[in-house]
Chains A and B, each alone.
Chain A
Amino acid sequence: MSFADDQADVDKVLAGDVSAYEGIVRRWQGPLVNLAYRFCRDRGRAEEMAQEAFLRAYRALGQWRKDAVFSTWLFALATNLYRSELRRIPARTVPLDEVAEPRDPRAADGGLEDSDRDHAVRRAVLALPAKYREALILFYFHDLDVPAAAKSLSLPEGTVKARLFRGRELLRRKLPEVLAVPRLKEA
């Protein structure tokens, strides 16, 4: 459904009907903003990056080869832009060794609450080296789909798999046990 709609809208835009681009924006604004958010964890910046991605896609619309699904092309373009943006102005992160600090001091004696733990793991992803961070972000964004993540990153699947494994290993090693097992209260 979406593929045919995308193709029809692209054809209209290329024929000179700029307003047809709004259909593409409305269909893909959610995914593009969410993908940007996973890269930068800043809502305002995510929307700015997504807007720039839509603008670049508009400029490059004629380069979309219709043998690939439109969304695959769009995600690859957006991913490329987001990676460049994050290299230019990195997201605010904390060192990997400090991400397990609980936000709520009351949880300090009993391990982290679930939400704190999830938050800590996501912050830890942002603190990873770029190549592992990007592979992890795209893998989970595409619902654990390695081929889709590889296409978005324009990398071979084997490379993405290796980076995923290494990235998760880094997370597993760096995140202290407190994330998994609540510590016993001291007597």
Chain B
Amino acid sequence: MIAPNALPRVLHEASGRPLTLAQHEEAFATSTRSGGLLEELDASGLTGRGGAAFPTARKAKLIRDQRSHNKFMVVNAMEGEPASHKDRTLLTANPHLVLDGAEFLASIIGAKNIAVCVSRDNPAAVNHLKRAIHERERRSLRGPKLELHTPPWRYVAGEESALVHWLDDNESLPQYRPLRPHILRIGHGPVLVDNAETCAHVGLIGRYGADWFRSLGTEANPGSTLVSVSGAVERPTVVEVALGTPLRSILQAAGAVTDPQAVLLGGYGGTWFDGARIDAPYANATLQPLGATIGAGIIVVLPRNACGIVETQRIAKWMANESARQCGPCAFGLPAITEDLWHLTQNSRDNQAAYQRLVERCGVIEGRGACRHPDGVVRLVRTALEVFASDVENHLRGAHCAASRSAQHYASVPSLEREEELVWE
């Protein structure tokens, strides 16, 4: 039993090796409640931890209300964001908690199959899950069937419609979903997709209840969440924090520099956030009025001696390459704004024109893709131009900022050589 106000929760008893089923059951009480599970989830106010923060109970209810014998529960452990390490950390610590939550959700919706999806480029996580699933199968043959799936890793492969499309048709392509709510399907069967961390929280709520869950966090954003901190930190870290903790304390706990120039919140399609505002509480209700969200629990810390525009250009270049290339505005627009950003970092005479083009193109690209990938990059660029306005001015005047010549970069971007290796299946 975990004390109500204690942290960590989903990372309870985490060590270098995953807990076995027996250890897991000892660390967490084995009592499960099967009745009233959806009501507990609803009362808990749990929202998705994959980035969209959609109320988990509402999503489950929508699928539960569909009539079908072939429903699927999908656990999304793809972790497409390069700056995110929380899901792999969770799977290394306690895969059984994630699987418990998946089984609870499957029982709520009436699914006979659970598809656990983790990228094949993460062999450690694949192994931990294989072993955990095997342990459960040896234990009992009742309950929904657990299957491990390993799509190839790409940024968009973790997007929920792309993941379901891969399960259905073997290609990680995001789908066009103009009418909401839109039910994703594998064959004819409706699908509930939830992030691995969300499933872990469900696993705890199913044991300890909604009141326990709400004993941490804020009224509007209850519970705890995993945060991946990278950039100007001693080492990339994953911490579990109560929602509403000041951003400054999270950075401190993770060993980041105390006076960052800015932080990137949410993910590579997220928002830059000025370093002067890091006393803000880390929760969507408080960050949204400031123009940011928690997103996938990602924080990239940018120190004073770095150039935000150079970092943004590197991220945008990689994100442009990660486009699924299905929609013109994204496939052509993202490389175009990447080039404009590059001009901005150089001392070229085309600077001013590039800046104008950049602003115009952001307006043209936004909202015209099937998924939110181009919108994320536009958001990244627009907030960069705002937060790093003085750097932009320097670059436009033709003055190099000291950082733009340095080799050190803070946003880790996988090398683009992979574009030949990675083949769209």
Partners in one complex: no
